[in-house]
């Protein structure tokens, strides 16, 4: 089967991240982190929608009752898609202006797991789990850049990377209520020429990882062995999600300009969203956060 790449949209993001396919409504959400925007693409109608955010945004996840959960610079919020209003869920105490939230995802049990990063790449980032009762538990600290958050199909394995370590770790995750245990090095990406960025898991339990510095996308088997390495449509792919009618399309966000001056694409299509077809695999429908903290109006 031939692999094809399709550019989506009329303009690029500055820092595209966090693609999430909503299987119920047939649309893709993603964010422009430094552009302070949440974007939505509906393939069936070719429609695009956008919501501005009150600060830099790291990620979004599906919520209940026409809402999204968002990891903004200072904490977790709920977005009412109908009104565009953001409601505070959790802000770390004490606040730390030296960090911002980055990568995040809903686990297989309906909890929101999201990590932060040091603004100046200091090891001050933290990893939180927001449970279904609206309580936030700190799972880890001392992180420079939280990335590659993903879960095995059965929810028992948690994948995570501090990108600057150039290693993806796998943890025993239990039933979503336990501390992270039995950490092991799942895969090292330094030999592939890149730190790991965003990741997702397919229906066979293989982990797909954006290799942002190498312009490639890697697929790792459940035992950590590199299974496949494909070219990215641009030089700086940032995050991945399976979507489409049969969850057979791999959506890829990318970077044009990270806003810091450190990461700037040299590709003419840098920052665009892409759809990759013909991979011969399917993804898993993304879970929703299992409690709406603030009722939608």
Q: pLDDT tens digits for 43-62?
A: 999 999 999 999 999 999 99
Asked, for residue 235, whether it belongs to a domain, the answer is yes
> Is residue 73 a part of any domain in this protein?
yes
User: Would you state the pLDDT for residue 263?
Assistant: 87
117: CATH: 2.120.10.30
- Across the range 188-203, mean pLDDT stands at 98
Do the domain assignments include residue 290?
no
Mean of the pLDDT values across residues 5-27?
97
Average pLDDT, the chain: 95
In a domain, 282, yes or no: no
Annotated binding site for a divalent metal cation: 17, 147, 197
Mean pLDDT confidence for 26-40: 98
Two structure tokens written together for 246 = 């049969």
Cα separation of 160 and 129, whole Å?
13
For residue range 250-266, list pLDDT tens digits in order: 999 999 998 877 789 99
**Which carries the bigger pLDDT value, residue 124 or residue 1?**
124
- pTM given for the model: 0.96
Annotated catalytic residue 197 = yes
DSSP string, 19-70: EEEETTTTEEEEEETTTTEEEEEETTTTEEEEEE-SS-EEEEEE-SSSEEEE
Binding residues: 17, 100, 102, 147, 197
**297 within domain boundaries:** no
Structural domain containing residue 168:
4-277
Cis amide prior to 254 (ω within 30 degrees): no
User: What is the per-residue DSSP string for 122-183?
Assistant: -S-EEEEEE-TTS-EEEEEEEESBEEEEEE-TTS-EEEEEEGGGTEEEEEE-TTTTS--EEE
pLDDT tier at 296 (50, 70, 90 boundaries)?
A: very low
Q: Which residue has the tokens 């993804």?
A: 283
* Residue 72 domain-assigned (yes or no): yes
Residue 296 within a domain: no
Instruction: Please answer whether residues 166 and 189 qualify as being in contact, where contact means their C-beta atoms are separated by less than 8 angstroms.
Output: yes
The pLDDT value recorded for residue 278 is 97
pLDDT digits (tens, 9 = 90+) for 150-180: 999 999 999 999 999 999 999 999 999 989 9
Using the predicted structure, report yes or no on whether residue 268 has a pLDDT greater than 90: yes
pLDDT in tens, 211-250: 999 999 999 999 999 999 999 999 999 999 999 989 999 9
Give the annotated binding-site residues for substrate: 100, 102
What's the confidence (pLDDT) of residue 65?
92
Cα separation, 26 vs 21, in Å, equals 7
Token digits of residue 81: 């898609």
Whole-number percent of the chain with pLDDT over 90: 89
Whole-number Å distance between alpha carbons of 278 and 249: 8
Exactly one of 165, 197, 227, 269 is catalytic; name it: 197
Q: How many domains does the chain have?
A: 1
Closest Cα partner for 41 from 261, 252, 294?
252
pLDDT of residue 143: 97
């Amino acid at each position: 089967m031939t692999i094809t790449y399709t550019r989506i949209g009329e303009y690029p993001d500055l820092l595209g991240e966090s693609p999430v396919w909503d299987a119920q409504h047939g649309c893709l959400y993603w964010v422009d982190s430094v552009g302070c925007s949440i974007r939505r693409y509906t393939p069936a109608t070719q429609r695009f929608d956008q919501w501005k955010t009150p600060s830099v945004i790291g990620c979004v996840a599906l919520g209940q009752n026409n809402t999204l959960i968002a990891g903004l610079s200072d904490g977790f919020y709920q977005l009412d898609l109908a009104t565009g209003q953001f409601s505070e869920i959790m802000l770390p105490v004490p606040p730390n202006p030296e960090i911002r939230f980055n990568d995040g995802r809903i686990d297989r049990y309906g909890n929101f797991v999201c990590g932060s990063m040091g603004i100046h790449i200091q090891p001050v980032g933290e990893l939180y789990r927001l449970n279904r009762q609206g309580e936030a538990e700190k799972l880890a600290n001392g992180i420079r850049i939280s990335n590659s958050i993903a879960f095995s199909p059965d929810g028992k394995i948690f994948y995570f990377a501090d990108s600057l370590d150039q290693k993806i770790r796998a943890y025993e995750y239990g039933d979503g209520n336990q501390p992270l245990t039995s950490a092991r090095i799942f895969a090292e990406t330094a030999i592939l020429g890149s730190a790991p960025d965003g990741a997702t898991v397919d229906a066979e339990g293989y982990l797909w990882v954006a290799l942002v510095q190498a312009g490639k996308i890697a697929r790792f088997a459940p035992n950590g062995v590199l299974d496949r390495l494909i070219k990215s449509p641009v030089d700086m792919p940032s995050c991945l999600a399976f979507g489409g009618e049969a969850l057979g399309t791999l959506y890829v966000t990318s970077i044009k300009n990270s806003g810091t001056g450190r990461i700037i694409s040299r590709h003419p299509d840098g920052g665009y969203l892409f759809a990759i077809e013909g991979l011969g695999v399917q993804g898993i429908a993304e879970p929703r956060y299992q409690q709406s903290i603030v009722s939608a109006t």
